[in-house]
Amino acid sequence: MSISRLVRIVQLGLKSLMLHKLRSGLTMLGIVFGVFSVIAMLAIGEGASAQAQKQIVALGATNIIIRSVKPVEGSSTDQNAAGSARYGLTRTDFKRLQKTISTITNAIPVRELPREARYLKKAMNCRLVGCTADYQDVNHLKINKGRFISDADQDTRANVVVLAHEVAMELFPVEEPLGKAIQIDSIFYTVIGVTNERTASAGIGGSLAAQDYNKDLYVPINTFRSRIGDEIFIPKQRGMDSEYLELSQITLTVREAKDVLRTADVVRGTIERFHTQKDFAVVVPLELLKQADQLRQIFNIVLGSIAAISLVVGGIGIMNIMLATVTERTREIGIRRALGAKQRDIIEQFLTETVVLSGTGGFLGIGLGLLTPITFRTIRWFTLNFILDTRPGQLSETSRMFSEMEPAVAIWSLPLAFGISVGIGIIFGLYPARAAARLDPIEALRHV
Amino acid sequence: MKLAARVENVTKTYDLGPALLEQPLGGSKQDLNYAPMNADHGRILVRALRGVSLDFPEGDFVAIMGASGSGKSTLLNLLGGLDRPSTGKYILDGIDVSQMSDAELSHVRNQKLGFIFQSYNLIPQYTVLENIEVPLHYRLGYPAIGPKEQARCLAMAQKVGLGERLDHRPFQLSGGQQQRVAIARALVNDPEIILADEPTGNLDSSTSNEIMEMLKSLNQEGRTIIMVTHEPDIANWARRQIVMRDGVVFKEVLTEEVLARHGGVLSVH
């Protein structure tokens, strides 16, 4: 088809559409909103997943996290002489990993326990974390006051503690925490630092529980071992149950992201060899990142499909109007046929009209879609203000996520939405166009 | 003399679908030959043309007359390539077009035939010039409309006396002016035959005469004109008159003879 012919037939289509401006405009509106909702939905999906990805990246894309897992009750657990259940990662595991795997640049042993921290008459249930100096970097902890645990603290097994933001707020609402001593069990620890507030990491894929860093107490792991030890007694209805656990977690940092998955396999193998039971789990944030990516794709497809339904509705609107137009212009079709138009010419004429209609609608929809971030922010501003006005201080987890999310218009969604709208124009235009072309010219000429 | 068109023993039967039980079923063959409408194998068939043979020499001016239902409109539709005969041949400019496909027939309509209708049939949203252009849009290969074509449209508009009203739309024109636009449009592709279906049916007598003058002058230029009409006055403008009745040619006379014998009026019945 030559360009001049294409131009001519598009001009013809525009001319016919301009005859009924209101009708054409309203029909187009269906497509405009369809395209807009496709772009907006995908933008919101992208925004939500970008947020999830940010949280996973916070776990460290080059990290491998190995956690001790308590084996299921009743399965054969190793029992030591004292009869306590023995499981989990050991210091030997830690040394073995650190020494044998060359791609590992950094390894941090971690021991955690829920413990109560006291200061004067205030008390708070916290998570006591025994760790090394590197823990700070790997977990992106920022120090607000004082300093984090140092290697010297490890060597001297100093009774020092770093408080997480929320703990510091709770125990020292007005006082300066640095230099004060807080009590954990029967032992006192000097506060040497306070961390900044840190958003909780999300529990991703079910394999890693959400971690709230704001209720942590950090002590040197050597101090932990000396003061608390590996064996933990848990009170039961009659007597005590005891657990023997050396390390709760080992965090490994791999030199390069491309080595992460292979290193994780080797780590798994290395530990498995020396463990008779399945008492550990390897979490690879990079894998989670990939899972999240898949999840994002599914999310996008679902959201996009919902939006695409509105496009289909728009298409039905077009078909409806075109069928009416064909009836209305039966006479014109008859005239054109008598003057030499082939059936194909008539199909092309009506199809061009629908494509011009849906294409223009798609174009306007893209324009509207590009405004999604602004629209979203405006709506969010109003809703959040409304929540704050009606129930102050009750910003739920969901609304916090909502307030932090930024919709991102995906560039690829623009041609996609435009393509779909034009495709819809063709699909829903074909039937009316064929109906027009199949009219008997004699009947059509007689039509009033 | 070269023939512009030739119709050989053409029939046209319309199938109106299955007959109701009350309709006489399977009438004798003789009945079928006489009744324009009858039932055959349980279907209602309308035999609009029942064997028509006509020659149209180049430069002829023919008026086809007849009462309604006589088959004159069906004949015109066949001649205009808007329909195909059930049996028989239609030879247009030396080519048998009776079994052509829709696309081929469309091309024949575009190139060899020009139509003038009773109700003008202009496209309402188009200006005079655009209406005249329409047949040019459907030429073979869809060549672009260049200055040459535009000049031709302009020339046609001037020829029919509408050089001053090129930008008017049909509703801004009188009936006679609209019909003149239709004539210009019919001429734009320089057709073999001009087919006119009651060209003056919607016009008053003085305007009718203007239009007929125009057709007559076109005929004098050498164009073949076939016109359907039921008005004897209008038919008298033609060189030859053919009267249809019950799907066959009933009478075929020269206008001179009509004027001499019937005092200017050819009896249709």
To which residue do tokens 């309709």 refer? B23
Q: How much is the ipTM here?
A: 0.89
**What residue in B sits closest to A3 (Cα-Cα)?**
B144
CA-CA distances (angstroms) from residue A59 to A142, A283, A297? Answer: 14, 10, 21
CA-CA distances (angstroms) from residue A160 to A24, A45, A180, A231? Answer: 75, 45, 10, 21
Identify all chain B residues contacting A8, using CB atoms and an 8 Å cutoff: 137, 144-145
Residue B7 maps to a domain: no
The average pLDDT across A106-122 equals 90
Residue B10 maps to a domain: no
Residue B86 maps to a domain: yes
**What residue in A sits closest to B104 (Cα-Cα)?**
A342
**What residue in B sits closest to A437 (Cα-Cα)?**
B102
A223-242 tens-digit pLDDT? 999 988 888 887 777 777 78
A152-202 tens-digit pLDDT? 999 999 999 999 988 999 899 998 999 999 999 889 999 999 998 876 654
Can you say whether the dihedral through the CA atoms of B96, B98, B102, B106 is positive or negative? positive
Backbone φ and ψ for A184, nearest 5 degrees, come out as: -125, 125
Per-residue tokens: A241: 């149950």
SS3 (DSSP) at B119: coil
CB A79 within 8 Å of CB A85: yes
- The number of CA neighbours under 13 Å toward the Cβ of A56 is 23
* Count of structural domains within chain B: 1
- C-alpha A37: how far from chain center: 20
CB B217 within 8 Å of CB B194: no
Contact B142 A441 (CB under 8 A): no
CB-CB: which of A2, A19, A342 is closest to B106?
Answer: A342
CB A41 within 8 Å of CB A303: yes
**What residue in B sits closest to A441 (Cα-Cα)?**
B82
CB-CB: which of B82, B107, B139 is closest to A441?
Answer: B82
Q: Who wins on pLDDT, B41 or A354?
A: A354
CB B114 within 8 Å of CB B189: yes
Can you say whether the dihedral through the CA atoms of B76, B77, B82, B85 is positive or negative? negative
- C-alpha A222: how far from chain center: 37
Residue B11 maps to a domain: no
Lowest mean pLDDT, pick from A21-25, A109-113, A291-295, B93-97: A291-295
**Which structural domain range is residue B97 located in?**
59-261
**Segments making up each domain of chain A, as ranges:** 3-56+291-446, 70-278
Does A235 contact B at CB distance below 8 Å?
no
**What residue in A sits closest to B107 (Cα-Cα)?**
A340
Does A4 contact B at CB distance below 8 Å?
yes
Does A26 contact B at CB distance below 8 Å?
no
CB A162 within 8 Å of CB A149: yes
Per-residue model confidence (pLDDT) at position A276: 85
Residue B194 maps to a domain: yes
* Closest C-alpha among B173, B183, B102 to residue B135: B183
In chain B, what is the greatest distance between 2 CA atoms, to the nearest angstrom? 63
User: Pairing state of beta strands B37-40 and B43-57?
Assistant: antiparallel
Single-letter code of the amino acid located at B213: E
Identify all chain B residues contacting A14, using CB atoms and an 8 Å cutoff: none
User: Pairing state of beta strands A85-86 and A240-244?
Assistant: parallel
Q: Output b/e per residue, A348-376; b: 16+ Cβ within 10 A.
A: bbbbbbbbbbbbbbbbbbbebbeebbeeb
Q: Give the distance from residue B151's alpha carbon to the nearest chain A alpha carbon, in angstroms.
A: 18
Per-residue model confidence (pLDDT) at position A73: 61
CB-CB: which of B123, B135, B137 is closest to A332?
Answer: B123
Contacts of A312 (CB under 8 A, 6+ apart): A34, A424
CB-CB: which of A2, A334, A340 is closest to B107?
Answer: A340
Per-residue tokens: A112: 């955690």
Can you say whether the dihedral through the CA atoms of A123, A125, A127, A130 is positive or negative? positive
* C-beta atoms surrounding B203 within 10 Å: 21
CB-CB: which of A19, A339, A442 is closest to B77?
Answer: A442
- Chain A, chain B: beta-carbon pairs less than 8 Å apart: 69
At A294, the pLDDT band (50, 70, 90 cuts) reads confident
User: Pairing state of beta strands A122-131 and A85-86?
Assistant: unpaired
What's the Rg (C-alpha) of chain A? 33
CA–CA dist A362, A32 (Å, integer)? 6
Does A8 contact B at CB distance below 8 Å?
yes
Single-letter code of the amino acid located at A273: R
CA–CA dist A114, A216 (Å, integer)? 9
Per-residue model confidence (pLDDT) at position B63: 95
Helices (H), B160-204: 175-187
To which residue do tokens 């004159």 refer? B72
Identify all chain B residues contacting A2, using CB atoms and an 8 Å cutoff: 142, 144
Helices H / strands E in chain A, number of each: 15, 14
Does A337 contact B at CB distance below 8 Å?
yes
Per-residue model confidence (pLDDT) at position B38: 53
Q: How far apart are the first and last CA of chain B?
A: 32
Residue B71's CATH number: 3.40.50.300
**What residue in A sits closest to B114 (Cα-Cα)?**
A339
Contact B121 A445 (CB under 8 A): yes
* Closest C-alpha among A359, A410, A378 to residue A34: A359
Identify all chain A residues contacting B107, using CB atoms and an 8 Å cutoff: 340, 342
The average pLDDT across A129-142 equals 87
pLDDT along chain B (269 residues), means of 10: 88 81 49 49 82 93 91 91 92 90 93 93 92 92 88 93 90 94 94 93 92 94 93 92 92 87 64
The CA-CA-CA angle for residues B63, B65, B68, to 5°, reads 145
* Closest C-alpha among B21, B86, B52 to residue B247: B52
Per-residue model confidence (pLDDT) at position A331: 93
A38-96 tens-digit pLDDT? 888 888 888 877 877 777 777 777 888 898 888 776 555 555 545 667 888 999 999 99
Residue A254 buriedness (CB in 10 A; 0-12 / 13-18 / 19+) = buried
B182-204 tens-digit pLDDT? 999 999 999 989 999 999 989 99
- Residue in A339, A342, A439 to test binding to B, most B beta-carbons within 10 Å: A339
* C-beta atoms surrounding A436 within 10 Å: 26
CB-CB: which of B83, B110, B124 is closest to A339?
Answer: B110
CB-CB: which of B110, B123, B144 is closest to A2?
Answer: B144
CA–CA dist A430, A436 (Å, integer)? 10
- Residue in B74, B101, B142 to test binding to A, most A beta-carbons within 10 Å: B142
Contacts of A311 (CB under 8 A, 6+ apart): A31, A34, A35, A37, A38, A417, A420, A421, A424
CA–CA dist B253, B13 (Å, integer)? 27
Strand-pair partners of A397? none
Inform me whether the pLDDT recorded for A337 exceeds 70.
yes
Residue B41 maps to a domain: no
Identify all chain B residues contacting A339, using CB atoms and an 8 Å cutoff: 109-110, 115, 134-135, 138, 185
